[in-house]
Amino acid sequence: MENELFDLLEAKNQMIYRIIDLSKYENEWLEVQKIANELSLNERSIQRYIHYLEEITEEFNASSKNTVEITYSKFKGLRLESNPGTINELKTFIIYSDETVKLLIEMCLIKTKTTKQYSEENFISMYSVKKSLDKISLLLAKFNLSINRSNLSFCGEEKNIRVFTYMFLWAVFKNDSWPFSYISEDKILQSVDIFFEEAGIQTTKIHKKQMLFMSAVCLMRNKKKYFIESHENWDDYVNIGALRNDSFISQEINNYQVYNDNEIYFILLVVQMQYRMFKSDTIKERILLYHEKKQTDVYRLTEAVMKNFQEEFFEIPEERKDVFFTYCFCAHLYCKVFPGIEFDINGQNIKNGKNFSNNLIFRLENFIEAIDFQTDILQEKVFLSKIYAAIFSHFKSPNSYDPRIIIGIDSEFPFLVRENLKVNLKRKFSDTFNLSVVESESGVEDILVTTMPSLYDSREHVCTIDYPLKERDYLFLEAELNKLQDSLNEHSIQQVS
């Protein structure tokens, strides 16, 4: 969701946000010329953005207990001085000072009235509000949602509204203060602590805070009388009768006065979608045994995927089959409850991820199409292919099906320097490419790394280096590898097709 949040920002806020990010990688001064090159702008424009950043930083320092010291010199450049935590606070300040983000926060927290009232109370023109709503609509479409522009509310299924609200508010406020003004953070924290303790789950502070946010979103919308609709099969996924007899569950129902069964189904389904919950043998057994007893489509599909995967790709080690099954189960349940949504339960845009090779994704999409199982879950082919790719890469290299690229080295370096260079190149690129690094004696290499390019004037894919390699050497070599891999992959996929 962070990338989508960035896209909502006004252009000037995007620029100063990126300038802050660039400054993190500089120990001293960040030169204006370097900023201009990175952002593809002229130096005069960069100077204007730096002056705007100075104004924002001054506002931030006036309202925060921590401060950021900003220094700008025409000849030296820009320097930001503070601890990393405060720099993140400054970035958050920029985000929710943005007009579009501010409006969406109000909508998520159900604080808006009519469009006209919002415009007048915030001294914003109706045109600016409309412009913000246009950008928000593009994001909401990824959750199958839209906007009622007369009263600035969300339109669509309540379950989708809740998962969007959670992901967005988490992205904005996870490093900031509690945004739910009329819901007690301490009270929910106490409930979450008891839940994890009774379930026997050791969890991190971040995971605990995520559960706080999701619980708060559900309570907030329930109290405002936005209720979860009834959905087919949910009673097969959650044993609500047995859970009502659980002392903790019944106590929490009374504490929060959430008596609607659909609300309870939804909260418990979201719990089932999170792999970390299956670290508790008690919870895992309770969930999976009930799905097995009911022979749900989620459970039976997971069995089919596990069986077919081993026949198509490789045998999963016995001691790791539990990981495979539960991870797939969570993904299948998520696709069933939230079809057509591009984001996983943690707010990561799965469909736009570029972490896996085209060859692997192509094979996994074909694998999904070949599964002989009737369920609407399999319609989420793009989403599931990325999930299965993540599982695949847990056991094997994600580049297993990529054509091998041979890097040849021809240099006057001593033997051990050449050997170290081979190791460094493998270490740097083996997660992204299917590589072999050799001496260029045989002449079979696809890419040549050399200190004497004059000997190879007629060759393609020649990278000139010195040792030790600098960052620009790695960047140049990576660009050549990408070009070559794209060409080889296209040919490979055409052959398979």
CA–CA gap between residue 385 and residue 398 (Å, rounded): 12
Q: CA–CA separation, 452 vs 479, rounded Å?
A: 20
Contact 233, 297 (CB under 8 A): yes
* The predicted structure's pLDDT at residue 411: 87
- Determine the Cα–Cα distance for residues 42 and 30; give it in Å rounded to an integer: 15
- Residue 52: pLDDT band (50, 70, 90) is very high
29 has a pLDDT exceeding 80: yes
Pick 246 or 35 by higher pLDDT. Answer: 35
Question: Is a pLDDT exceeding 90 seen at residue 364?
Answer: yes
Predicted confidence (pLDDT) per residue in 393-411, tens digit = 888 888 888 888 888 888 8
pLDDT above 90 for 293: yes
Q: What is the average pLDDT across 398-426? A: 87
What local confidence, expressed as pLDDT, does residue 251 receive? 64
- Is 73's pLDDT higher than 70? yes
Contacts of residue 52, Cβ cutoff 8 Å, sequence gap at least 6: 12, 16
Q: CA triplet 217, 219, 223: central angle to 5 degrees?
A: 120
Q: State the pTM of this model.
A: 0.84
Q: Is the pLDDT of residue 59 over 80?
A: yes
Least confidently predicted of 116-130, 173-187, 246-260, 479-493: 246-260
**What is the reported pLDDT for 239?**
84
**Is 2 a residue whose pLDDT tops 90?**
no
- pLDDT tier for residue 169 given thresholds of 50, 70 and 90: very high
User: Nearest-CA neighbor of 174 among 198, 204, 145, 210?
Assistant: 210
Tokens of 310: 């081993």
Q: Across residues 47-71, what is the average pLDDT? A: 88
Looking at every residue in the chain, the average pLDDT score rounds to 86
Per-residue confidence (pLDDT) for residue 77, from 0 to 100: 83
Cα–Cα distance between 140 and 165 in angstroms, integer?
Answer: 10
Residues 6+ apart with CB under 8 A from 465: 411, 449, 450, 451, 473, 477
Asked if residue 264 lies in contact with residue 253, where contact means CB atoms within 8 angstroms, the answer is yes
| CATH of region 2-97, choose from 1.10.3720.10, 3.40.1360.10, 1.10.238.10, 1.10.10.10 | 1.10.10.10
Instruction: Report pLDDT digits (tens) over 369-378.
Output: 999 999 999 9
Query: What are 101-137's pLDDT values in tens digits?
Result: 999 999 999 988 889 999 999 899 999 999 999 999 9
